[in-house]
Structure 1
Amino acid sequence: MSSGLPEENPIYGPFFGVIGASSAMIFSALGAAYGTAKSGTGIASMAVMRPELIMKSIIPVVMAGIIAIYGLVIAILIAGQIKSPKEYSLYMGFKHMGAGLTVGFSGLAAGFTVGIVGDAGVRGTAQQPRLFIGMVLILIFAEVLGLYGLIVAIFMYAS
């Protein structure tokens, strides 16, 4: 006898969890890749004028790479919880999708910011070395955008 209410654990419930895990990794990796590429072109351009500053200018590339780790952490957490449709509710699927999208889009935004600031920062540091500390501070503020997404995603995952 049907009560008229929807089935508690529909067969498509895990789909949303998989989308969450995938989007966490895909979007944060896209942000990290853009940040690395954009900062890398700035480093290559700067190295022509001041090759001694190459190692000092790697900071934006490292910070962009960290953004992908945020997405990796959430993607692994979500993927570890995905079970068969009978054991995985639609609610869990939506919650995991929200967590994945949160860290993914935050990582994408942070990666874009790190890339643009890193590119302009290393080029500017080649001309005025005192700009380096300001560039690092701005990069920290850009990186923390991805960290905020990670924190919110962990809360969504754990609740």
Structure 2
Amino acid sequence: MSYDLKTAEAAAYAPFFGYMGAASAQIFTVLGAAYGTAKSAVGICSMGVMRPELIMKSVIPVIMAGIIGIYGLVVAMVLKGKVMASSDGYNLNKGFAHLAAGLTCGLCGLGAGYAIGITFRRNDSHSHFSLKSWDFTV
């Protein structure tokens, strides 16, 4: 019984890892964008009550959080386009590379969405007094 390395690398389950990378890029960035949008929306509501003239400035974090979700969608579509069947030459190396790319994009998007939500939620109670702290976060 011999062991063939080429056959082992072209495993039938290699595309699974590529698709998991595409899915994780989209799922984690959308979770981060949702958190950032939700926390920023609370800040917008309180800003509308306290200082209605600053509503347009307070919409910026929601737009930033939405762009993070769109970025995850674009990366997921690029990764999905590169995944093919194992019989077409898609091996474990490519699958793990696409998984790593998807996880990197997704977890960075998750962290960025949390940062947007936490930063604006923390500054919304102070930004109606002084915009210096809010200008720093943008």
Normalised to the residue count of structure 1, the TM-score between the two structures is 0.79
Distance in 2 (CA, whole Å) between partners of 1:113 and 1:3 is 49
**% of aligned pairs identical?**
52
Shift of 1:85: 1.9
| Two-structure CA RMSD over aligned residues (Å) | 1.5
Aligned to 2:116: 114
Task: Give the aligned residue type for 2:2.
Answer: S
Alignment of 1:42-61 (within 5 A): 42-61=43-62
Distance in 2 (CA, whole Å) between partners of 1:110 and 1:52 is 27
Distance in 2 (CA, whole Å) between partners of 1:38 and 1:92 is 37
Provide runs of 4+ in structure 1 moved above 2 Å.
Answer: 1-6, 120-123, 129-132
For the pair shown, which has the larger CA radius of gyration, 1 or 2? 2
Maintained 8 Å contact 1:43/1:119: no
Residues 23-68 of structure 1 show CA distances to partners (whole Å, capped at 9, x for unaligned) of 0000011001100100111111121111111111111111111111
Distance in 1 (CA, whole Å) between partners of 2:130 and 2:116 is 20
Shift of 1:8: 2.4
- Tell me how many residue pairs correspond in the alignment: 136
Aligned to 2:27: 26
Residues 61-90 of structure 1 show CA distances to partners (whole Å, capped at 9, x for unaligned) of 111111112212211111001111212111
Instruction: Mark the runs of 5 or more structure 2 residues left unpaired by the alignment.
Output: none
Task: Give the aligned residue type for 2:114.
Answer: F
Aligned to 2:69: 68
Instruction: Mark the runs of 5 or more structure 1 residues left unpaired by the alignment.
Output: 137-159
Task: Give the aligned residue type for 2:135.
Answer: I
Task: Give the aligned residue type for 1:33.
Answer: A
Greater RCO, 1 or 2 (C-alpha within 8 Å, sep 6+): 2
Q: Are 1:92 and 2:125 counterparts?
A: no
Aligned to 1:11: 12
Identify which range, 27-36 or 41-50, moves more after superposition: 41-50
Identify which range, 57-66 or 1-10, moves more after superposition: 1-10
